[in-house]
Every structure is written in C-alpha cells, then in structure tokens.
Amino acid sequence: MPGKNLSRDEAQQRASILAVDGYQVRLDVTSAPDQAAGTFRSTTTVTFRCSRPGADTFLDLLAPAVRSVTLNGRALDPATAYDGARVHVDGLAAENVLTVEADCAYSRTGEGLHRFVDPVDGETYLYTHYEPADARRVFANFEQPDLKAPFTFTVTAPAAWDVWSNAPHETVAADGGARTWEFAPTRPISTYLTAVVAGPYHVARDHYRRELADGTALEIPLSAMCRRSLAPYFDADEILGVTKLGLDFFHEEFDYPYPFGKYDQAFVPEYNIGAMENPGCVTFREEYVFRSKVTDAAYEARANVILHEMAHMWFGDLVTMRWWDDLWLKESFADFMGSYGLIGARTRYSSAWVTFANQRKAWAYRQDQFPTTHPITADIRDLEDAKLNFDGITYAKGASVLKQLVAYVGSEAFFEGARRYFKRHAFGNTELGDLLEVLEETSGRDLKSWAAAWLQTSGVNALTPQVTTDAEGRITELAVLQDGDVLRPHRIAVGLYDRDADGALVRTGRIELDVTGARTVVAEAAGLPRPALVLLNDDDLTYCKIRFDEESLENLRAGLGDIRDELARALTWSAVWNLTRDGLMPARDYVALVLRFAGQEDNIGVLQSLHAQAKTAVDLYADPAWRAEGGRLLADGALRELRGAVPGSDHQLAWARFLAQTAGGAEHLGLVRGLLAGSARIDGLEVDQDLRWSLWLALAAAGQATDEELAAELAADNTASGKRHHTQCLAARPTAEAKAAAWSAVIDSDELPSALVEANTAGFSIPAQRDLAALYAAPYFKLLERVWAERSIEIAMRIVGGFFPIAQTDGQTLAEADAWLAGHPQAAPALRRLVLERRDDLARALRAQACDRA
C-alpha cells in the first residue's frame, strides 16, 4: 500500500504545519454479532489548524472503503483522495474541518478493533489495540504521537452491551435494538492511546478517594472487567486492591493528581501483548485471569503489569515522546516503576527486584547481544522500526539503566526531577533533552556524558573480578575488569561472601564504588581475608554481565544453593546462565547446577526461570550426542523433586509442569498418563484444566495422544484457552502430517487470529522434532518477503520468528539464513532484522554446542 509505512520525516513535516484542535469519532458496531459482517461504520470529524494555508496534507486510514471525504464543506472524490492507506487533502485553510466516513474492518489479529466470539456462550466481544499505529484501522487520523488532541467518541452498539472509552460516558440513548453511548471529551492525548471496549463484559466496580494538598479531594471511579464466561475465576478484589495501592504510591511519588478521571481495566481475549496503557481504559491480556492454580510468581507478574500500566498514566500518557525514537521515555520508566512500585506501594510482593534481576534483565542481555542491538534512544526511521523496538532494550535494559541512574543521582533527585518533568510538560511531547534538563536541575550533576554512555550507545559490558592474595590468604589487590565495545561508568557494590557457622554463604563485606575504564582497583579490599565468593554488582545496581574469578566459580559449583540472600543467589544464577549462553560454561555443567541446587531455591519465580533455562540448555546448547542423556536427567530430576515437594505448594506445581515439559521415557510418560486418567496421584497435586493441557502436550509431543483423546479434552474445555492448547497439541505431534497441517493453517490462510498462529508455531517447533521441521527450512526462506508484504505486521512477526528452524544442529540452516540475507539486501529493514536475530540465536546455539562438546 502506498504510504502505509509512515516515515519519521513525513511525520515531522506534517507536525511542522499542523495543530489539531479535536476529533469527533462516531462508530457504529451494531453489526458485530453477525459474523458475516466484516465491517463497521466509522465517521471522523477532525478540526485542525494549518500554518501554511494552501498546503496539502494527508490523514492515515486503513479501511476497505471510504464513503465520503469533506474538507471545509467541499466534497472530495474518495476514489482519488484515498489510496488505500492515506486520505489526501489539498488547499488547506488556516482553520479546517475535515470529515471522513469509512467502512472499517473488524480485526482478527488484535490490530485495530478486534472481534472475538466466545465459544462457551456465543457472546461477541470487541476491544481496540493501536500501538504504535493502528488507530487508523478504526478511524481516520493523523497517526503520530506529537499531534495530540482531545477526542470525543460516540459509539452505537447492541442494546445488551456496555461500552467503555477513555473518558466517562455522558449519555446513553436507546433506539430499538441498539444503544448509543456519548462519551465526554478526553484531555489531549495521542491517537494510539485512544480506546473502545464493547460487549457483554462482567464488571466489578470500586472507588478511590484521595485528599489533595490544596484541600480538595480526588475521586476516581474504578472498574475491572472480563468476559462473562471467565467471571467465576475473576479475582477483582485482588486486582482492584493492587490498583488502589498503586494510586496511593504514584500520587505520593509524582505529586501530580491522576489526570484522566476514571480508571477502567479490561481483561480481553486474544490480546497480542501484556497490556496497554490507554488512559482511563487500560487493556490487559485475559491470561491474567487465572482459570487454574498458578504459582505466586504469576500473581506478582500481574501486579507488576498493573503498576507498569499505571505508571504510564504519567510517563507516556500525560507526557508523551515526540516520536518513537524516544519510546524509552515511557517504556523504560514504566518497566522500572513496575518493580519499584511493588516494593514502594507496600504490596505483598517483596521480591520484585529479584524477579527483575533474574527475568527482565535476561531479556535485556539477550537482546543487547544481537547484531541488531541499538541504543536505548534508538534511530526509528518509520513505523515498522517502531513496531520492532518494543523490545528488551527499550523495556528491560532501559529500566536497568534507570535503576543505575537512581543509584547515581539519588532517589530524591530522581523523583523530584520526575515531578518537575510532569508539571513542565503536561499534555505535551518531549525528547531526551527535556528529561535530562530537569534531572540536572535536581541532582546538580552533568548528565550529558552519562546519557551519551548509557542511552546513546549499545551493547552490554562484562565485569570480572581479578583477585590476588598473599601467602596468608589475604587480598593484596582486588580489581574489576570491564569488557565491551563501549566502557561505561558503573556504580556497583562488590559483595564478599563466606560460610557462616551453619555452612550458608553469607555476605561478610560490601564495598560500593564507581567502576570506570578497563580496570578499576577496589582499594578498600586490600588486606581483607580472601572470601569464598566475590560477587560483583551485588544488590544489582548496574546493568552488566558479571563473571567470576576461578576460585569463586569453583565454590559456586559446590555451593551455589547455599547463598542465603535471594537477590545474591538470583544474580549468581543469572551469571552462570550468561556464561552458558556465551559458550564459556558447558551446557551440561549448567544442567548439573540446576539439578543439584534448584530444589533448594525458595523463590518460585527464580525456580521457574531455572526450569526454562535448563530446558533450553539441553534443547539448544548441549552437544547433540549428549542431548538425550541431558533430557533424561532433567526428567528424572523433575520427578524426584515433584515427589519430594510440599503437597499443594507452588513448588510442587512448578515441578509438575517441568515434568510435563521434559517427560520422554516410559516411566515419565506413564505417570503423565496416570495423572490424566486419575489412576496415579501425587499427594496435594490438583490436576486442573491448565495442568491437564500441559500433560496432554507431553503425550502429544511423544506421539502418544490420539486425535480422539485430544478432541475429547477440547470438548470438556470448549473455551478460547482450550482451543489454543488443542491447536498446539495437534501441531506438536511428531508426524509429517501434523507439521504439514500446522504449516498450512498458518501459511495458506490469513483467517487465523494471532493466538492460534502462535499456538501452531509453538507446536510445530518442538526442538526434539528438529528433523521434521528441517524439511521446511527452504520453503521458509522462500516465503519471507511474501509473508511480510501480505500479512499484517503482527502476524508476519509471529510467522518469521515462530517458523525459523532454530533447533537445527548443523551449519545448513545457518548457511541458508546467510544466503537469504546476502541475496535480499533490499528486503524491508524490519524483516531483515527479525531474520538476522533468529540467525544469531542459531549461531549462538552452535557455539554453545561446541563448548559443551569440548
């Protein structure tokens, strides 16, 4: 489509001449329950000013048809004004009124206005998702973040439905089988932040009140909603309780009253991401409504996301980046505040920084070692670049760097800077310099060099201790070595750990210092007894990979699980995993550490990460000749820990799921089938619906689940979740027919929603079935450009990433990827980036296999 991929230059040119005064958007979705109806009526009236009268411009719109275009009372011919992606208008006046009436399409990919039919009761549900640029699938607009405006929505929907948008509704008028909802105007916001949620949702309501410093009271109506069929599982009290704690916390820290009136939170089906910060109408993936027993890590993750999205009400919604180059101005802050807020808001999740160190940073380290890594402040040329930059750099590395910044300038200076930032730029758009300005004011530090090192360069540093001792075992010198393409200033703590009387590894000393350059001497360590463990970046103040000196590493092999402090232990687990990924520790050695010490791990989130990483170590990083043995050891370990876990505990559930992931031998699969049939029992283990699907996936992947058995399980769980699980089980079967069916379902049709595309690719790509998947390597590379051209970017990303033959163990696929990259230099940059990243994953796996083999 001409102009579908809006460039930064085009956006800057448009913003240089336009100022938007307001939108009136009218949507008629009464056709939604009729699945044969593919479109809905959308009418947009936008009032805007032009500083260059007589100029021309365009609105963004992706719609099957445009009925009419009227500019300042002058009718334009849609056949010539609309090119399939843009509505072109010329002869602008100083003040303009433009109306576009279009037929827009209901979405099945989670982009635009998504329509979902609940298989449980046949009810239809709608919700919107736009970031970065899919509001144009629902109404004509200037689709860029710096042309903010107030929005007034009017939505006509079936009479039995409720409708929500960013602002409260003012009137609801009934007309036969429909009701029309008139919403109040919003405050000025960006197009991608607008929202509509409609359908027969189950709703829980509450209220938040806060006395403000000026003597007035802030009143915020609260609601949380989900599909009616999920209502029995909806723990709204817990969700709204975290919401109130978060509102208290952010008001205390930010000193700026919540500016968007009400606070609705909708948990919606087939959502492509975790959540979206639409002001006043936040949307979440409904997997956060737990149908079955989950570990406390899942509740912590949900609470983190609730606070992440709430932080966006200030960082992102009140103050918004000018263009996607500065996406970090909202996402890095929200990612940081999600963890910071769990502690500061006094929620029950006191291990939030442990989770951050163990999980979020793992995402950042992986992303930052790709050849496609980029600075936190990225060079975003267009919307396709923007879509791919919702990544581990923008979120987790940015949040890690902000944590380092707080250590660097102090928390009070940091939050006072945030307060000034909100007040100075409320309802406006900002760039990096605007934030640095207020932080320099409050901290008294020159942050330009700090920003240049941390925000405007890419790559992760590795810090390694260098320890020398005298004949009596005392430290003569402790130095920190820094590796990396860019050497950065790090504020770190060095932890010294020794065994106490009970044999635990405890911290006996802590030295905080600034690390600069390639080698920094820790002067305070001289003369101290040589500890059993030197732990760099103790307390996780900076963003880096940490290494160990040889003596520390040997002590960890013997006693990693003996580290008493859970954050120090999590940092150590993270470090040995990075050693494994970097081909510096054999995969089988990492597996041995997990098998020896994971059973001692108290933190359930860390334990579940260890399970995932150990499985990856065997599947991708181990010598192929040892892989079967490694898999058997993992399954044996899972069974042993499952039988020994406290009945009914989170740990028992985690080990049961890990057994399902690793089961391969007759003993393990026999227990799996026995648990499904009820002929086997583990005291305290409830085999509920989600665990049943995990067990069925194990049998399906082993070729021991029949079509009839899987169909019967789907019949017993005829839900959206059941359909996803059933689809994955079918694709996971180790037969050529199963792989062909999964491939065809995704490639030969564009009817599948993204949730089922993901289920098919996940089942198709079972690592143990790499020989079957290898047959599709050549077709995969042949279809890449067609997929990118014909599918929405959301679906194309899932296909490109999901079908890449990552599990291969020879150089053939690597050569095919290199040949494609060399032969397609003009392919879309975003597509090339995805392929290059998957290629790099494969190259890393091959290097790790060589290390394990050696």
Quick check: 1 pLDDT over 80?
no
Give the integer Cα–Cα distance in Å for 245 and 103.
Answer: 43
| Beta bridge mates, 115 | 126
Q: What is the pLDDT of residue 20?
A: 98
Quick check: 3 pLDDT over 80?
no
Q: What is the mean pLDDT of residues 19-37?
A: 97
**pLDDT tens-digit series, residues 462-481:** 999 999 999 999 999 999 99
Amino acid occupying residue 5: N
Quick check: 61 pLDDT over 70?
yes
Higher pLDDT, 5 or 799: 799
Give the integer Cα–Cα distance in Å for 185 and 427.
Answer: 14
Task: Output the six-digit token pair for 523.
Answer: 């002067």
Quick check: 815 pLDDT over 80?
yes
Task: Output the six-digit token pair for 547.
Answer: 């290494």
Query: Is the pTM above the cut of 0.75?
Result: yes
Quote the DSSP letter at residue 106.
P
Q: What is the mean pLDDT of residues 517-535?
A: 97
Q: What is the mean pLDDT of residues 518-546?
A: 96
Of the candidates 118, 111, 121, 196, the one whose C-alpha atom is nearest the C-alpha of residue 152 is 196
Give the integer Cα–Cα distance in Å for 9 and 323.
Answer: 10
Q: What is the mean pLDDT of residues 818-828?
A: 96
Of the candidates 242, 238, 187, the one whose C-alpha atom is nearest the C-alpha of residue 426 is 187
Count of C-beta atoms within a 10 Å radius of residue 56: 12
Q: How sure is the predictor about 535, in pLDDT bands with cuts at 50, 70 and 90?
A: very high
**pLDDT tens-digit series, residues 391-404:** 899 999 999 999 98
- CA atoms lying within 13 Å on the CB side of residue 323: 19
Give me the count of residues in the chain: 854
**pLDDT tens-digit series, residues 139-181:** 999 999 999 999 999 999 999 999 999 999 999 999 889 999 9
**pLDDT tens-digit series, residues 505-521:** 999 999 999 999 999 99
Q: What is the mean pLDDT of residues 662-686?
A: 96
Cis peptide before 531 (omega within 30 of 0): no
What percentage of the chain exceeds 70 in pLDDT?
Answer: 100
Q: What is the mean pLDDT of residues 824-838?
A: 95
Strand order through the sheet with 178-183: 74-76, 65-71, 95-105, 39-50, 18-28, 151-158, 178-183, 169-175
Q: What is the mean pLDDT of residues 31-47?
A: 97
Quick check: 2 pLDDT over 50?
no
Residue 837 designated active-site = no
Amino acid occupying residue 491: R
Q: Rounded mean pLDDT of the chain?
A: 95
Q: What is the pLDDT of residue 725?
A: 98
**pLDDT tens-digit series, residues 706-719:** 999 999 999 999 99
Residue of 131, 277, 309, 713 marked active site = 309
Q: What is the pLDDT of residue 389?
A: 82
Q: What is the mean pLDDT of residues 274-282?
A: 97
Torsion sign across C-alpha atoms 614, 619, 624, 630: positive
Q: What is the mean pLDDT of residues 216-232?
A: 97
- Who's near 120: CB < 8 A, 6+ residues apart? 229, 718, 719
